[in-house]
């Protein structure tokens, strides 16, 4: 007769552990599911990693702050290149972006600078903290802007900025 009374221990899977590596300034360099031989790191949970993935935030936009316990603080990354400029408040500009709750209106005034009608203006809507995080690109031809070009977009002035390629004209934002 075969003994059918076996005692099985419940199956326990190892917990997923991640390691958040950072440099001496707190800048995050790696987030790995294994521990390297060198580097400064802290152990973080799978829930921590899942939260960042679901939030859509970039882990590189934060830095590690270690005190009594560890925390992440958002760091300011404003490194626009020489080819782009931030569009700021300006009512007297040649090219204006008029912003209301659901529309961006692009208007180019007639100026002494001659630009061909087939010239394309490219506007980049980016994250206000990290200009490298591109949210939206808008291409508009010069002749469209002379008539006033309306673009449906719910611009969030608290979290977004607008960049444009630099040229000889001035740019400005007007909130309506």
pLDDT of residue 80: 45
pTM of this structure: 0.52
Domain shared by 89 and 171, yes or no: yes
Q: How far apart are CA 154 and CA 61, in angstroms?
A: 24
Beta-sheet strand order (sheet of 149-152): 149-152, 103-108, 95-99, 171-175
Total number of domains in the chain: 2
Domain shared by 145 and 168, yes or no: yes
Domain shared by 105 and 140, yes or no: yes
Domain shared by 34 and 89, yes or no: no
User: How big is the chain by its Cα radius of gyration, in Å?
Assistant: 25
- Per the structure, the complete domain to which residue 134 belongs is given by 84-175
Domain shared by 62 and 97, yes or no: no
pLDDT of residue 155: 93
Residue with tokens 């270690």: 66
Domain shared by 39 and 120, yes or no: no
Domain shared by 140 and 93, yes or no: yes
Domain shared by 102 and 140, yes or no: yes
pLDDT of residue 81: 47
Give domain status of residue 10, yes or no: no
Helices (DSSP H) in 13-156: which residue ranges?
A: 46-55, 142-147
Give domain status of residue 79, yes or no: no
Domain shared by 68 and 102, yes or no: no
Averages of pLDDT over runs of 10 residues in the chain (176 residues) are 63 78 80 85 85 71 75 61 64 84 85 67 85 85 85 91 76 85
Give domain status of residue 7, yes or no: no
Q: How far apart are CA 78 and CA 74, in angstroms?
A: 13
């Amino acid at each position: 007769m075969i003994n059918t009374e076996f005692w099985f221990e419940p199956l326990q899977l190892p917990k997923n552990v991640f390691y958040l590596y950072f440099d001496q300034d707190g800048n995050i360099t790696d987030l790995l599911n294994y521990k390297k031989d060198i580097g400064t790191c802290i152990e973080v949970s799978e829930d921590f990693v899942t939260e960042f993935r679901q939030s859509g935030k970039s882990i590189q936009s934060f830095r590690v702050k270690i005190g009594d316990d560890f925390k992440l603080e958002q760091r300011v990354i404003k490194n626009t290149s020489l080819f782009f400029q931030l569009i700021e408040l300006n009512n007297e500009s040649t090219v204006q972006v008029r912003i209301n709750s659901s529309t961006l209106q692009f208007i180019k005034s007639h100026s002494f600078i001659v630009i061909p009608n087939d010239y394309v203006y490219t506007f980049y809507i980016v994250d206000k903290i990290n200009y490298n995080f591109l949210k939206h690109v808008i291409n508009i031809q010069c002749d469209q802007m002379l008539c006033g070009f309306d673009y449906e977009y719910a611009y969030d002035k608290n979290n977004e900025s607008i960049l444009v390629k630099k040229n000889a004209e001035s740019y400005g934002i007007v909130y309506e």
